[in-house]
Each structure stands twice: as structure tokens, then as C-alpha cells.
Amino acid sequence: MFTHAIVRTPGPNITEGITSASLGKPDYALALQQHAAYVAALQACGLEVTVLEAAPAFPDAGFVEDTAVLARRVAVITRPGAPSRQGEEISVAEALRAFYHPDQMHCIAAPGTLEGGDVMRVEDHFYVGLSSRTNAEGARQLIAFLDRHGYSGSTVAMQEMLHLKTGLAYLENNRLLTAGEFIRHPLFAYFNTIPIEPQEAYAANCIYVNGVVLVPTGYPGVQAKIEAAGLRTLAVDTSEFRKLDGGLSCLSLRF
Ligand code: GLY
């Protein structure tokens, strides 16, 4: 059960964010509207949402998920692998001090890099994707911190996706949404997987929040599969964030 979320209002510099998509620049006014609707959706799921101010120096700072890994007993502040994103984590750490005791807070240190989008929690276990943003040292440090607080972690080799959760979403009760390289991945054979067609792969980045699955608007096949698995869905439009390779999970820290 989540009670809180942290988000950050996108700044006008969102148009300069990192992207591999060929979808054009985000429309800032529309991004702000979509962000407000996203916050409202989290609130509708029962979360108290802390909204951080825009960070003018960091075009990708709205994707707060990459700056921390949170569980009830521990908060690990990351060291993003994208050089232009290093520093985003400082104001997020400040905000988290209102929720965590100093003994519960840790930081990934150089040469480790880690982005929260590469970390998928399944109960008290954390899968850590070794992506172009998260290296083996960052994963090692994270797993050591988790272990200190009674959680476990393991790494996942990956080749194609930007982040682990670009292609995976855990929907509780052993249900796992999978796309691309994670469909039929032996590490996830134990799960009841819900595979996604390539044309809807973007929608693998869903989030389960207190019994509701937030799904990006415009992916009816994925929404239908999740509902067929017995889950309630809520569609939230993220078209402007998709233009920056971002999705529903990237836009918040939920704890
Ligand atoms: N634009 C989000 C990222 O690449 O980190």
C-alpha cells in the first residue's frame, strides 16, 4: 500500500530532454496539463502527493523516479547514469528527509551509476537492470543497502530497453506485464506474465497503485489485457512525456 508520492512539475526546458524517440518536441503547455492530470490520478488512488518545483537546470528532472529507490525502511538516492541528469537527485533527497530518518538514507557513489527506472520491486525483492544508465557497481551498492535493511536484490542483464521498467511492470499477485526482450525471459518464467504486442510496447510502463493500474491513454489492447486479469485500470495521457522516452512510472516516486 502506498501513501505518498513525489513528483516534479516539468519546466519549460522539457523540450531539451534526452530522447531516442522521433516524435518531435513536447508541447510544454500540454505537458503541464498532462502532469496535473497524472497528479490527480495518483491522488484518486489515495496518495498524498508532494510536488517539487521545476528544476530549470535539468530538462529531464520531471522523471523523478530515476533519482531514488524507496521502500518503507530505506531510501537510496541514486547517481543517474546520464551525465546531464546528475544533480537532479539533490533536491529529491532534501524532500525525502521529511519522510526518512538519516539512518535509513543512503547514496549511490561514483563510479556507481543507477537510475530508478532500472529497479523493479516485487514484494521485498528488487530486480536491478544493467542498462546503459545503471552499471554493475551501482547495482552492487544498491543491493548492499537493501540487504542492510532486510530486502534483497538481483541484477538483470538487458540489451534493448532504456530502463528495466521500459519493458516490465509488476502488477502484484505474481502478475507481470512484459514487452520486448523481457517476453519469455527465463528470469521471469515463474510469473504469470501478460505479454504485450510490439505495437503497444510503450504501455508496458504501467504502475500499480493501491489496487488500480494506471495505463497510458491510447493502448486499448494492453488495457483490455490488464482488465482481463481482473484489475481496475485508469488511463492517463502521457503523449508529451513519451516524446522523451518517459512514461507513467518515470513521473513519480511512490512510497
Ligand atoms: N528523457 C528521459 C531520459 O532519457 O532519462
Residues with active-site annotation = 163, 250
Predicted local confidence at residue 73, as pLDDT? 98
For residue 150, the CA-to-ligand 1 centroid distance in Å is 31
Alpha-carbon gap, residue 53 to 182, rounded angstroms: 35
64 CB-near residues (< 8 Å, 6+ apart): 6, 7, 8, 52, 88, 92, 250, 251, 252, 253
pTM of the predicted protein model: 0.97
For residue 41, the CA-to-ligand 1 centroid distance in Å is 22
Ligand 1 pocket: which of 25, 58, 63 to mutate (most atoms within 8 A of CB): 63
> What are residue 55's phi and psi, to 5 degrees?
-115, 95
Average pLDDT for runs of 10 along the chain of length 255: 97 95 96 98 98 96 98 98 98 98 98 98 98 98 98 97 98 98 95 97 98 98 97 98 98 98
Residues with C-beta less than 6 Å from any ligand 1 atom: 17-19, 60, 63, 82, 244-246
For residue 193, the CA-to-ligand 1 centroid distance in Å is 27
C-alpha cell at 136: 554493475
Alpha-carbon gap, residue 180 to 159, rounded angstroms: 10
Alpha-carbon gap, residue 52 to 75, rounded angstroms: 18
